[in-house]
Amino acid sequence: MKRKAYMTQKQEKKSINEPSSGHDETRQIHLVAAYAFLLNLALAVMKILLAFISGSLSITAGAIDSGTDAVASLLIYAGVKLSHKKTRSFPLGLYKLENVASVVIALFILIAGYEIIREVLFQPEHRPKISLLFIILLLAGTLATFLFGQFAMHTGRKTESPTLIAEGRHRQVDVLSSLLVVAAATLSYLDIPVSFMGITIDKIGAVLVLFFIAHAGWELLSDGMRVLLDASIDFNTLDRIREIIRKEPVVSDIKSVLGRNAGRFRFVQATITLKTKDLDRAHQISEEIEKKIRQEITHLEMITIHYEPQNRHHERIALPVDDRSGRLSAHLGEAPFFMILNIRKKDRKIIQQETLENPHQSEKTAKGIRVAEWLVAQGIDYLGIREDVSKKGPGYVLSNAGVKLHIISSSARNISQAIDEILTD
């Protein structure tokens, strides 16, 4: 059987777990990005006016920061709007535009830091003209920034949007810098001279803010570049996907599980080996695995599952027996023992043989199903039995696990004849 690939690629936003979930989350991101732009634009205009009137270095630095924030927020909004568009040139979507927007935010943060340090080093000393109204306006702007930052972080974590998480982190930096600006403005208003080694509180606060800006900018830049360079999704998520696949009894081997992020969405590719050569059955199994993965892993946009049949040189056969000598039993659930043999396919030679006691022989109900599940756990490929259980519970358990059921004829008197029948079937 040729290797076959199965891929599901649902283009609508509803492809992510629940149909309405992806749409609602996207709408939330659009709204938050729009609110961020409006807030930053209002703060920038306010601080520019206050800086022009007062001549304060710290307020000027805050105005620069808010101005770059306004431009960055506009880019975020455009990036989020475009990120869900799919075209002929970009059939998988433009999800990475969210990460591009995050990188742009990081660059604007670093630019703002540069502007602040330049002002600190080269701005001549002068006393700013601060009024009580200025302090009240700066406090109001700080409070609005704090509340919006908390809202953006909460929404970002809820929707797993890197753009909104980046926006929330940036707002945290803005709150710290705004508080330092408020402190410097308050000291100037109260006419309390504060300096360290001749450096005014305005410049000290600006330098302290610069460290926060540099840290936040570098963190966002490195995280965004990891996604743009197709770094793997986190290992915990990959391990969870492997565990889901491994629980499928028909899967004999997991060759690889790879994944990447694009914006807040995940793309996964797995290569597995199945204990079946039936294409329809293999396709059905791959769909079941996909469904289970989607139930466990959030924001999964696309799964690609490559599957191929198991290529084995040995077959593992189970036979119910009445005793350890190998006398064939007529029953499944009530058989005292099961003989399990590893047979080399090319010459039908027994490589390994063991006789296991039936652990469910004394069960009062559903013993056949429990025995079938136990045999599946033993990793058998064939079960030879005299009674036909294909239309009963044990038969369904074995079939779902890819175990082939062979009805041994009455002419087979011993183990060797039963094995010949099974391998000739």
Question: What is the tens place of the pLDDT at every residue in 58-113?
Answer: 777 777 777 777 776 776 676 666 656 666 666 666 666 666 776 777 777 677 67
| Mean of per-residue pLDDT scores for the chain | 76
pLDDT of residue 308: 77
Band of pLDDT at residue 338, cut at 50, 70 and 90 = very high
pLDDT of residue 16: 36
Is 167 found in the same domain as 125? Answer: yes
pLDDT of residue 48: 85
Is 325 found in the same domain as 304? Answer: no
Greatest mean pLDDT range, 88-97, 190-199, 203-212, 253-262: 253-262
pLDDT of residue 231: 57
Is 84 found in the same domain as 63? Answer: yes
Is 269 found in the same domain as 203? Answer: no
Q: Is 160 within a domain?
A: yes
Query: 19, 202, 228, 21: which is closest to 121 by C-alpha?
Result: 202
Q: Is 71 within a domain?
A: yes
Q: How far apart are CA 321 and CA 312, in angstroms?
A: 26
Share of the chain above pLDDT 70, in %: 72
Is 327 found in the same domain as 389? Answer: yes
pLDDT (tens digit, 9 = 90+) per residue, 123-147? Answer: 666 566 788 888 899 899 889 988 9
Q: Is 50 within a domain?
A: yes
Average pLDDT for 289-306? 83
∠201-206-208 over CA atoms, to 5°? 95
Is 353 found in the same domain as 336? Answer: yes
Of the two residues 53 and 198, the one the predictor is more confident about is 53
Specify the length of the chain in residues. Answer: 425
Is 198 found in the same domain as 244? Answer: no
- Residue 274 host element (H or E): strand 265-274
Is 178 found in the same domain as 78? Answer: yes
Is 357 found in the same domain as 286? Answer: no
Among 285, 309, 333, give the residue marking a domain's end: 309
Q: How far apart are CA 242 and CA 210, in angstroms?
A: 43
Q: Is 5 within a domain?
A: no
Among 228, 250, 270, give the residue marking a domain's end: 228
In sequence order, what are the residues at sequence separation of 6 or more whose Cβ sits closer than 8 angstroms to the Cβ of residue 337?
320, 321, 322, 323, 324, 329, 355, 356, 357, 358
Is 347 found in the same domain as 275? Answer: no
Its domain, for residue 146, covers: 13-228
**Collapsing DSSP states into helix, strand and coil, what is residue 252?**
strand
Q: How far apart are CA 376 and CA 371, in angstroms?
A: 9
pLDDT of residue 6: 38
pLDDT of residue 14: 37
Average pLDDT for 47-68? 77
pLDDT of residue 358: 92
Q: How far apart are CA 416 and CA 310, in angstroms?
A: 25
Q: Is 332 within a domain?
A: yes
Within 10 angstroms of residue 165's Cβ, the number of other Cβ atoms is 20
Is 186 found in the same domain as 69? Answer: yes
- Residue 259 host element (H or E): strand 251-262
Q: Is 8 within a domain?
A: no
Q: Which amino acid is at 30?
A: H
Q: Can you give the CATH number for the domain in which 354 is found?
A: 3.30.420.130
Band of pLDDT at residue 357, cut at 50, 70 and 90 = very high
Sign, Cα dihedral of 19, 240, 270, 226: positive
Q: Is 405 within a domain?
A: yes
Number of domains in the chain: 3
Average pLDDT for 18-46? 74
Q: Can you give the CATH number for the domain in which 274 is found?
A: 3.30.70.1350
Of the two residues 23 and 234, the one the predictor is more confident about is 234
Q: Can you give the CATH number for the domain in which 29 is found?
A: 1.20.1510.10
Q: Is 3 within a domain?
A: no
Lookup: tokens for 122:
């080269």
Among 279, 309, 339, give the residue marking a domain's end: 309
**Collapsing DSSP states into helix, strand and coil, what is residue 139?**
helix
Is 76 found in the same domain as 96? Answer: yes
